[in-house]
Amino acid sequence: MTRLITTIAEMRDIRASLTGRVGLVPTMGSLHDGHLTLMRRAREQSDVLIVSDFVNPLQFGPNEDYDRYPRDLDGDLAKVDGLADYLFAPSAEEMYPAEEPFQVDVGRIGTVFEGAIRPGHFNGVATVVLKLFIIIRPDIAVFGQKDAQQLAVIRRLVRDFNVPVDIIPAPISREGSGLARSSRNAYLDEDGRWHALALSGLLKDLSGRRMPAPELLHALEQARATSSTDVQWDYAEAVDPATFEPIDSSFTGDAVVIVAARVQGVRLLDNAEITVGT
Ligand code: AMP
């Protein structure tokens, strides 16, 4: 049975009593199969698994979906049963008792792509993850490659703050159609789910390939030009996976193609790795 923990004090007490390697999978709940993949990956490398389940207000902008973000603690508890030892689900007041809590500033990487569209988002992500690392003191933490910019931010966070946690990436989990799993897919109707395949469809042609930079940049320009009322691209770019700076036409090496679009008003993200070169 997974044990539910809602206070920081209890979480700290339990952590102090644990022996062996402790793994953490941070989530915002409303768990789907993608989250379960992360948990299985964490289990392979840890003796005790803690999953956090917290919709973090700091990473939502004033006009975003914090209030209507799907929440289902009972369903989450049932899903992690047999996989996680503890589900840490504190309230927003428990995590942020101060009216204006201090936050981590992640700098430039937090201002491009997702960070440009969602100002302050990555500062909020880095803040909650650092808090979870301090409260839980995990040996490893697993993050999904689905949120590639978030993964790059977390890697910088542990490097720049000397946090002794191994960050382990987990591959993108997809539905049979190719659609990347996301809690926000629940907002889409059948038509929306069909239009959403534009993201994975674009990436399918590029994923795992080797392509010269000018050819790749041209393909992405073409894709962006197809923006319609059904699929409105926010970006479709190739970037350096560590810095999230866009590649130029002379770039060679490993890159990641990142795409974001709005379908039925829902923001969807996806990405794929590609080798750039002749
Ligand atoms: P979220 O609950 O959306 O904040 O996601 C929690 C963790 O699950 C993050 O590390 C995400 O990158 C990861 N995740 C969400 N969806 C997927 C997916 N389809 N495949 C892999 N990881 C995912």
Buried b / exposed e across 123-158, counting CB within 10 Å, b at 16+?
A: bbbbbbbbbbbebbbbbbbbbbbbbbbbbbbbbbbb
The Cα 149–Cα 114 span in angstroms is 8
φ/ψ of residue 262, rounded to 5: -105, 130
Q: Percent of the chain, pLDDT > 90?
A: 97
Contact (CB, 8 A) for 80 and 51? yes
pLDDT attached to residue 205: 86
Taking residues 132-144, report their average pLDDT: 98
Task: Give the pLDDT band of residue 169 (cuts 50, 70, 90).
Answer: very high
Tens digits of per-residue pLDDT, 206-250? 998 999 999 999 999 999 999 889 999 999 999 999 999 999 999
Which ligand 1 atom is at minimum distance from the Cα of 183?
3
Taking residues 164-175, report their average pLDDT: 98
- Site to probe by mutation for ligand 1, drawn from 27, 51, 58, 65 as the one with most ligand atoms within 8 Å of Cβ, is 27
Taking residues 85-93, report their average pLDDT: 98
The Cα 155–Cα 157 span in angstroms is 5
Tens digits of per-residue pLDDT, 243-270? 999 999 999 999 999 999 999 999 999 9
pLDDT attached to residue 227: 84
pLDDT attached to residue 208: 87
Tens digits of per-residue pLDDT, 35-71? 999 999 999 999 999 999 999 999 999 999 999 999 9
pLDDT attached to residue 268: 97
What residue ranges line ligand 1, CB within 6 angstroms? 27-28, 34-35, 37-38, 143-144, 146-147, 170, 172-173, 180-183
Residue 121 annotated as catalytic: no
The Cα 92–Cα 8 span in angstroms is 12
Write down the mean pLDDT value for the chain: 97
CA of 154 to the centre of ligand 1 (A): 13
Which ligand 1 atom is at minimum distance from the Cα of 171?
21
Asked whether the predicted pLDDT for residue 180 surpasses 90, the reply is: yes
Taking residues 72-93, report their average pLDDT: 98
